[in-house]
Amino acid sequence: MWELLGSARAMEQAVACKRALDIGAHSYKSVESILKNNLDQTVLSETSPLTNGKGTPTSHEYIRGKHYFK
């Protein structure tokens, strides 16, 4: 029985990590917040204003456009 509980928790953590990566949040605190607020149980819309439809952020203070590298 304990193996099932452990694997269920591991699955929740994996889903939370995937969600954090999808929104560009790369910290332990972000994953912890996702789990605390049960956001691992909700679906992040592909058309969210945070993403470009591919699950990657479209704007962030550290993202430079192609014009920066010319």
Token pair for residue 37? 């607020």
- Residue 56 structural domain: 2-69
Cβ atoms 60, 54 nearer than 8 A: no
Half-sphere exposure for 10 (CA within 13 Å, toward CB) = 6
pLDDT of residue 4: 53
Model confidence over 3-56: pLDDT tens digits? 555 677 888 888 899 899 888 888 999 999 999 999 888 877 655 555 555 555
* pTM for this model (two decimals): 0.53
Q: How many CB atoms lie within 10 A of CB 16?
A: 22
Sign for the pseudo-dihedral over CA of 33, 40, 52, 65: positive
